[in-house]
């Protein structure tokens, strides 16, 4: 059974955690939620095109309040107050704090 992970902050560190989970630990880690204040389309773009690590070669799109990667929907939120994040709603076992 995969560990369900939420990511609070989708800057450089948050995106690298995401990429590592998808590319190296897909059977062991499932990303279930991302919280960041930036526009979802921008988050998708920054994940797809990284000037240091190269292109993220997976299908990425935004559908409503979800980032969809290879058909897997991941909840996106833009909550400033971390006490309001409700990680339990997506079943997160672990939350990576990467807001900086």
Tens-digit pLDDT profile for residues 59-75: 999 999 999 999 999 99
Place of tokens 């990425």: 60
Mean pLDDT of 12-33: 98
3-state SS assignment for residue 76: strand
Nearest-angstrom CA–CA distance, 95 and 33: 9
Strand partners, 50: 54
Model pTM score: 0.96
DSSP string, 41-94: HHHHHHHHEETTTEE--S-EEEETTEEEETTEEEEEE--S-GGG--GGGGT-SE
What domains does the chain contain, in order, with CATH numbers?
3-97 (3.40.50.720)
């Amino acid at each position: 059974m995969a560990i369900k992970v939420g990511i609070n902050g989708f800057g450089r560190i948050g995106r690298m955690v995401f990429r590592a989970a998808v590319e190296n630990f897909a059977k062991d880690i499932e990303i279930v939620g991302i919280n960041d204040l930036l526009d979802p389309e921008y988050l998708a773009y920054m994940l797809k095109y990284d000037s240091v690590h190269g292109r993220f070669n997976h299908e990425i799109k935004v559908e409503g309040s979800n980032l969809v990667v290879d058909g897997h929907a991941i909840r996106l939120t833009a909550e400033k107050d971390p006490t309001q994040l409700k990680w339990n709603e997506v079943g997160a076992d672990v939350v990576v704090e990467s807001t900086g």
